[in-house]
Amino acid sequence: MTKHSWAQELLRRPAGVAAAAWIVLLVVAAVVSSVWTPHDPFDTDPYSAWQTPSLNHLFGTDGIGRDIFSYVFAATRTTVVVAALAGVLASLVGIGLAALGSLTARWVRESTAVLIDILIAFPTILIAMLLSSILGGSLGVVITAVGIGYGVNIARVSRGEIRRVGRTDYVLAARASGVGSAGVLGRHILPNVAPVFVVQLSLAMATSILAEAGLSYLGYGASASTASWGRLLNDLQVYIAIHPGSVVWPGAAITLTVLAFNLLGDALRDATDPRLRARRATSEAIA
């Protein structure tokens, strides 16, 4: 299976295309918002508090007169950076642990497997709280927590896959002809584990966005000078009884983005799973 064919498969799935489009839009928004936003997202103006949506304030204003659209727009940067870095860290942790749990001596392999099973019981948010109690809350802590918390999930899924690929004839042939462990891992195993891994990466990013929002809501994520959807939810919560409309924007932004990464993950799973593809091909042939 080549990369080309899964990209093509992905493009045939409307949900996958919509999800990918939303994520591209988000990245563009993150880039644009770092040079331009309609208003300064942190500019307060008590005289224009709680304005209803208008052309000047697309999403209205909050209780201290901040333009909610500009704030939500600027917060895309936080979301994109956290998702990207958490994704990279989770991949490194996941692949590292999976390799340790599948390609090493028996006792290392088995104790790694037990460790993975135990670490999975640690919810990401609790890892973040553990680190925050010492280091104080920050986006770095959120990224580290997701990296460890979701990395373990990636490790569990990839470990099985690496072990399966490790037993195939071509890997045994490569080993027999003298290719070292690192060579086998890089040249033969990782490319074959990639489809399973890409799906997990997409789900890791969905998790990181929910974790960032939750922790920033609790006050242990983004600092007050960083725009964050979760922080905005916390700022608006006090006024929920009087201005329930304003919480729609940050909440919808989080939901749509998490949904996009989940849908992308599902579409990638379908696109990269040859069994599903074969089934669809037969059903199309019958139709």
Helical ranges in 43-123 per DSSP H: 68-100, 106-119
CB of 196 within 8 A of CB of 268? Answer: no
Considering the complex, state which of residue 38 and residue 123 has its C-beta at the smaller distance from another protein: 123
Which tokens sit at 123? 């919810």
Considering the complex, state which of residue 192 and residue 202 has its C-beta at the smaller distance from another protein: 202
Q: Within 10 A of 244 (CB to CB), how many other CB atoms are there?
A: 10
* CA-closest candidate to residue 208, choices 153, 255, 145: 145
* CA-closest candidate to residue 69, choices 237, 227, 213: 227
Q: Which helix (H) or strand (E) holds 176?
A: helix 169-176
Residue 175 beta carbon to another protein: minimum distance, rounded to whole angstroms: 33
Residue 66 beta carbon to another protein: minimum distance, rounded to whole angstroms: 18
Which tokens sit at 169? 């004839």
DSSP 3-state of 67 = strand
Residue 57 beta carbon to another protein: minimum distance, rounded to whole angstroms: 21
Which tokens sit at 174? 């490569």
Considering the complex, state which of residue 10 and residue 165 has its C-beta at the smaller distance from another protein: 10
Residue 244 beta carbon to another protein: minimum distance, rounded to whole angstroms: 4
Considering the complex, state which of residue 163 and residue 243 has its C-beta at the smaller distance from another protein: 243
Helical ranges in 177-221 per DSSP H: 181-184, 190-218
**Residue found by looking up tokens 């988000």 in the block:** 26
Considering the complex, state which of residue 73 and residue 229 has its C-beta at the smaller distance from another protein: 229
Residue 245 beta carbon to another protein: minimum distance, rounded to whole angstroms: 9
Considering the complex, state which of residue 48 and residue 96 has its C-beta at the smaller distance from another protein: 96
Q: How far apart are CA 17 and CA 11, in angstroms?
A: 6
Residue 275 beta carbon to another protein: minimum distance, rounded to whole angstroms: 13
* CA-closest candidate to residue 199, choices 110, 118, 264, 109: 264
Sequence-separated (6 or more) residues with CB below 8 Å from residue 115: 97
* Residues lying near another protein in the complex (CB under 8 A): 114-115, 117-118, 120-126, 129-135, 137, 206, 210, 213-214, 217-220, 230, 233-234, 237, 240-241, 244, 247, 250-251, 254-256, 258-259, 262-263
Considering the complex, state which of residue 23 and residue 206 has its C-beta at the smaller distance from another protein: 206
Considering the complex, state which of residue 240 and residue 278 has its C-beta at the smaller distance from another protein: 240
Which tokens sit at 180? 């070292």
Residue 177 beta carbon to another protein: minimum distance, rounded to whole angstroms: 40
Ramachandran class of 65: left when φ > 0, alpha when ψ lies in -120 to 50, beta otherwise: left
Residue 126 beta carbon to another protein: minimum distance, rounded to whole angstroms: 6
